Chains A and B, each alone.
Chain A
């Protein structure tokens, strides 16, 4: 039952991770842990957009969590959006990963979320604000893994060309280094106190 709270800019998401705990008979899987993600928006009830984001987050986490070590259990990840000033999906991804780290779940690799916005004149902006996202021609979000900087999750909004997507991906992979360094520093700080 551990919260984690990364804050890029003014977007903040609180992640709470519960598990591996006993799963309901209807939800348990015989050979691996059943992962569930609940995303609660700041205002209002969760809708179709939250469901689709939950699916993205769940499948990304499933790819890294070594579920086979905990069969017939349930791992629940609850994300509460505290404030949204842009790049919400990558904030959720980072919160999820830090939550998994904090809980000490066995992972095959770490992952981080990076959002890129493509300006109408073609410049790439990393971690855009809400205003930049609205004015951009395209907004691309990637989840990059820590072992080989491969793409775990990709989702785009707006249209762009193939080359632009590759450029954004390369920029996201470079930015991932900074985020993994942040994870490392936070973990170091947490364990050096005790």
Chain B
């Protein structure tokens, strides 16, 4: 009977739970789904760095490939970071195959903004020889299973993958002018900041729930995503329309995001320690 009710009147079904301050999957309003992720330098063996993140059912994989290119004329000492978010039709019935839809493009722009705003990677670090050679990092974020909260999972996957990247050392041969890549000598990327995203869904203009599933996102009247770094600074406040919020409510979201950052940081540190060769 409850399945019938859920299909016919999903909003009423949800409201009944929200009145009791909990959600159909048993979580509280401020509780996140279980976050797991797999580093393994073998997640994607052909990539220079990769990570698979699962946030409940939402599964996102990020692969980073490093290639060489000449830096742009106006920024001779900067490399490039090119993020791309893909939502293939296999992850959810709402996405059709073909050119990237609006959600994928908006997510790609969001990730590019987070990298830029948080300064997690400084482009100058990617430069090998001023004006001649620099690294280009192609970060491909692909969603394998879409169950809401794509942005949080993507940012997390990106961070984990970048921490996993080992760049080979490159020298420029003085005589020939060609670059020589030494695959045996590898150095990890310098990650300066660790941004973590926290998404909220707004219900009925008043209630805020954390880490929405796909069903909750459909029923929500708005979403907010806050990205914080380890110093408690805001790297991004992303509220694309939806129900209006007061400044105080936004403040609550930010405080929750800062707590979440600490939880995630502990998780990352734990996994890094377990894979570092002793």
Contact = CB atoms under 8 A, between A and B. Distances in A.
A174 interface: no
A158 B117 contact: yes
Interface in A62-86: 62-63
Interface in A142-158: 143, 145, 148, 150-158
A59 B103 CA distance: 12
Contact of A153 (B109, B119, B239, B246): B239
A161 B231 CA distance: 9
Given A58-B241, A63-B243, A169-B250, A161 B233 contact: yes
A156 B247 contact: no
B106 interface: yes
B238 A160 contact: no
Contacts of A156: 117, 234-238
Interface string B198-211: 00000000000000
B251 interface: yes
Interface stretch (A6-14, A46-54, A124-132, A184-192): A46-54
B110 interface: yes
A51 B109 contact: yes
Please tell me the size bucket of the interface on B. Answer: 35 or more
A165 to B, nearest CB: 6
A61 interface: yes
Tell me the interface secondary structure of chain A in the complex: helix
Interface in A21-68: 48-49, 51-52, 54-63
12 contacts: A48-B112, A52-B105, A63-B241, A63-B242, A148-B246, A151-B250, A154-B237, A156-B117, A156-B237, A159-B119, A162-B234, A169-B247
Contacts of B242: 59, 62-63, 152
Contacts of B243: 63
Contacts of A160: 233-234
Interface of A: 48-49, 51-52, 54-63, 109, 140, 143, 145, 148, 150-162, 165-166, 169-170, 173
Contacts of B238: 154-156
Nearest to A56: B240
B106 A52 contact: yes
**Residue among A62, A145, A154 with max Cβ neighbours from chain B (10 Å):** A154
A159 B117 contact: yes
B247 A151 contact: yes
Contacts of A63: 221-222, 241-244
B229 interface: yes
A139 to B, nearest CB: 10
Given A51-B106, A160-B233, A161-B233, A150 B246 contact: yes
**Residue among B106, B233, B241, B245 with max Cβ neighbours from chain A (10 Å):** B241
B109 A152 contact: no
A158 B102 CA distance: 23
B234 A154 contact: no
**Residue among A143, A153, A160, A169 with max Cβ neighbours from chain B (10 Å):** A153
Nearest to A172: B247
B241 A150 contact: no
Contacts of A161: 232-234
Given A52-B106, A55-B102, A160-B234, A155 B239 contact: yes
